Chains A and B, each alone.
Chain A
Amino acid sequence: MPYSVMIVDDSAVMRGFIRRVLTLSGFEVGECLEASNGEEALAGLEGHSVDVILTDINMPKMNGEELLRRLETDSRLRSVPTLVISTDATKARILKMLSLGAQGYMTKPFSPEALREELERVLGERNA
């Protein structure tokens, strides 16, 4: 079953890379929405349902931390699994994002296979 995905990253080339490696990894992608920051993501999610959100942390206007806070307060969106993708692999940052509601945390660099495995884990937890 194809999954609908929201990719949130202020780098257009990074969004393109994630979209491409999702396909390369064999992950079944249906609708793929994109946003360059948390504000755009929330606006895009108003009219759409997605199966999973992949988000960066450091973004202008609304960063990944604030996006997670806002998702947690939205009764419709709080159940959507969120996977953080970041260059920051420090323990403090990972714990912070998980405490804000992220179901997974991927650090760059990552391989297509690793991204798929983490998404399957995150989606499996939701479906369990």
Chain B
Amino acid sequence: MPEQLQQAPRTYAAPEFAATVVRVAAEVLETMFFEEAVPTACEHAWLSTAVSVHVSFEGSHQGEFLLSVSPDTARSIASGFLGVDPEEMTETQPGEVILELANILCGALMSNLWPESALSLDTPELASAEHAFLGAMHCCFNLPDGMVAVSIGVCSGDASA
């Protein structure tokens, strides 16, 4: 995590910000991954076993995005995306699909939150969920096979803009 984020995390609790994250995440999961995602209260015991992906973004806004998916949900999401039975998937395919989900979700969120901005996303990387961003915007979703958590930390730029 960039030093700037560790030292000075900013919290954005604006209702519109949270509503956008919830709406976009649910839309992405339903449209391309064929999963119904329902926002739910946070309970993070499952994060220690989650498949997590980290994406940095920069430009008019700078910050980080973290997606965490419980293992069974990762297999279910990958199965829906690839159109194959979970038993037929390779060991690496769930991770590859969650990387793609993070890329799509982060890009869609940036475009919806700041449509007039110019942003670039770094290549998504598998990461540890243990450093869930302190002070970051955070939402949890319940899916049929488990949980998904989405966090965005913005360290520069006006998140409400």
Contact = CB atoms under 8 A, between A and B. Distances in A.
B100 A109 contact: no
B107 interface: yes
Contacts of A87: 103-104, 106-108, 111, 121
A109 B81 contact: no
Contacts of A17: 32, 81-82, 100
A91 B111 CA distance: 9
Interface residues of A, number: 21
Interface stretch (A8-16, A43-51, A64-72, A74-82): A8-16
B159 interface: no
Contacts of B78: 13
A111 interface: yes
B152 interface: no
Contacts of A39: none
A16 B78 CA distance: 12
Interface residues of B, number: 29
B126 interface: no
A127 interface: no
Interface stretch (B1-9, B41-49, B68-76, B112-120): B112-120
A13 B78 CA distance: 9
A90 interface: yes
Given A17-B81, A108-B107, A109-B28, A91 B115 contact: yes
29 contacts: A11-B96, A11-B100, A11-B103, A13-B81, A13-B82, A13-B93, A13-B96, A13-B97, A13-B100, A17-B32, A17-B100, A86-B107, A87-B108, A87-B111, A87-B121, A88-B107, A89-B108, A89-B115, A90-B110, A90-B114, A90-B119, A107-B108, A108-B32, A108-B104, A108-B107, A109-B27, A109-B31, A109-B104, A109-B108
Interface of B: 27-28, 31-32, 78, 81-83, 93, 96-97, 99-100, 103-104, 106-108, 110-112, 114-121
Considering the complex of A and B, which 4 residue pairs feature the smallest CB-CB distances, nearest first? A87-B107, A89-B111, A109-B31, A109-B32
Interface of A: 11-14, 16-17, 20, 58, 86-93, 107-111
